[in-house]
Amino acid sequence: MIDESVATTQTPVRAAEFFAGIGLVREALEPLGVQVVWANDIEKAKRDAYAANHDASHFLLDDVRKVTAENLPADIELATSSFPCVDLSLAGNRLGLVGSQSGMFWEFARILEEMRKQRPRAVLLENVHGFATSHGGKDLSDALTRLSELGYSCDVIAVDARHFVPQSRPRMFILGIRGGVVPGAQTGIPPVSDVRPEWVQRVHARHQHLAMHYLPLPRLPEGPHDLSGVVERMDTSDPRWWGPDRVAAFVESMSPLQTARLQALRDSEGISWRTAYRRTRNRVSMWELRRDDIGGCLRTTGGGSSKQALVELGKGEVRVRWMTPLEYARMMGAGSYKLTAGTPNQALFGFGDAVVVDVIKWIGQHYLLPVLRPQVVLQAA
């Protein structure tokens, strides 16, 4: 691991944050010596949350389709892009990169092309695993081809946030590097590892005709096993807990298997927590508890199964309520984030649409800094 005190004594890495949202990429990378000097998003509520936690004087609130290279400051070394996943997600419409949301990748690529000689040394793209299978893999191939045309050698990795926070949130990352050999990088097909499972290995294998590389990475940490560090403790009389009738309807909507799971936890001597989603099975709305003790993937709060409930069980009791903005923040590795901007629902939306701080920080420590500041790695070793 890189010593952050060493990293911050070096010349900062100047970064641009596309699709910045509420600023969790910046939250992750700035302690490592990365200086975000430009950010962009189209949603004012997200910009307001960003401004409540970071200097937003450089934040451009506008449609990325209106952004040109002239809007960015000079000497950008790193560009990050968490472009929308709506059209790539298995839970979405699967329009892929021709969709109006996920198609924003092409706007990011357009701006990179316009930057020409000022093009960043590194790019970091984040999206769902569905990106790899969208249109039979063609969308990912098209994206990797475009980045290769722009001079980037690409690496693909996959990280589930459960290695850092109690949330199952699998995401894939494309790391593009230009302007020379990456220190320690290798070419060819990478061995299978926790960040490069077989499906990622196949992505590398299918694209050997492009500029591709892989950087050996350490094993991911084990991660927390339950929600105890996330749950916001509140008295049983707190009005946010659902009333008896609503809890009864919640339980009655469950399948026999789900009911048995709930009853076993309810009758245990200790207190435990589970998250639950509302699902539609055979056109019937039902509640389902997660099998394990961590949370499901947080999503934007748009109705249906998108909103996650917290269930407290044990000592013969069942209590249910919606998860709070603070719990969302903790599950995204941003428990100290100020939640003063916007409504509670806007906070849930912002966190559900963001990156996990600890994941980005890990990538920054073990990948971005070794590429962009190799001398820091040598000093900290």
**Mind listing the pLDDT tens digit for each residue in 306-331?**
689 999 999 999 999 999 999 999 99
Q: Is pLDDT at 302 greater than 90 in this prediction?
A: no
CA dist list (Å): 336 to 36, 53, 326, 331, 367: 19, 10, 9, 11, 25
Q: Is pLDDT at 47 greater than 70 in this prediction?
A: yes
| Distance from C-alpha of 176 to C-alpha of 124, rounded to nearest angstrom | 7
Query: Which amino acid belongs to residue 219?
Result: R
Local confidence band at 161 (pLDDT 50, 70, 90 cut-offs): very high
What would the two tokens of residue 298 be?
């947080």
Q: Is pLDDT at 374 greater than 80 in this prediction?
A: yes
* 225-246 confidence digits (pLDDT tens): 999 999 999 999 999 999 999 9
b/e code 69-103 from CB counts within 10 Å (16+ = b): eeebeeebbbbbbbbbbbbbbeebebbbbebebbb
Residues 8/31, Cβ–Cβ less than 8 Å = yes
Output the pTM of the full model. Answer: 0.92
Local confidence band at 90 (pLDDT 50, 70, 90 cut-offs): very low
Count of H helices and E strands in the chain? 14, 11
Mean pLDDT, rounded, for 67-75? 95
pLDDT for residue 102: 54
Residues 88/105, Cβ–Cβ less than 8 Å = no
3-state secondary structure of 228: coil
pLDDT for residue 279: 84
Mean pLDDT, rounded, for 292-302? 85
Non-local CB neighbours of 277 within 8 Å, separated by 6+ positions: 287, 288, 296, 305, 308, 309
| Distance from C-alpha of 60 to C-alpha of 211, rounded to nearest angstrom | 32
DSSP structural state of residue 365: I
b/e code 135-153 from CB counts within 10 Å (16+ = b): eeeebbbbbbebbbebebb
Local confidence band at 93 (pLDDT 50, 70, 90 cut-offs): very low
What are the respective helix, strand and coil percentages of the chain, to the nearest 5? 40, 20, 45
Residues 291/332, Cβ–Cβ less than 8 Å = no
Non-local CB neighbours of 47 within 8 Å, separated by 6+ positions: 41, 56, 59, 61
Local confidence band at 303 (pLDDT 50, 70, 90 cut-offs): very low
> Pairing state of beta strands 122-127 and 78-81?
parallel
Percent over 70 (pLDDT), the chain: 89
Higher pLDDT, 93 or 155: 155
| Distance from C-alpha of 274 to C-alpha of 280, rounded to nearest angstrom | 19
pLDDT for residue 84: 65
Whole-number average pLDDT of the chain: 90
Q: Is pLDDT at 91 greater than 60 in this prediction?
A: no
* 347-367 confidence digits (pLDDT tens): 999 999 999 999 999 999 999
What domains sit in the chain, N to C, each tagged with a CATH number?
Answer: 4-224+354-380 (3.40.50.150), 244-323 (no CATH)
Local confidence band at 381 (pLDDT 50, 70, 90 cut-offs): very low
Q: Is pLDDT at 2 greater than 80 in this prediction?
A: no
**17 CB burial (10 A radius; 0-12, 13-18, 19+):** buried
What's phi and psi for 26, nearest 5 deg? Answer: -65, -40
* 171-203 confidence digits (pLDDT tens): 999 999 998 877 789 999 999 999 999 999 999
pLDDT for residue 284: 84
* 272-295 confidence digits (pLDDT tens): 999 999 888 778 889 999 999 999
What would the two tokens of residue 20 be?
């910045």
| Distance from C-alpha of 353 to C-alpha of 89, rounded to nearest angstrom | 13
pLDDT for residue 94: 47
> Please, what's the largest Cα pairwise distance for the chain?
66
pLDDT for residue 135: 82
Mean pLDDT, rounded, for 62-82? 95
What would the two tokens of residue 214 be?
């892989």
pLDDT for residue 299: 85
Closest CA to 167 of 241, 224, 82: 224
pLDDT for residue 376: 66
pLDDT for residue 97: 56
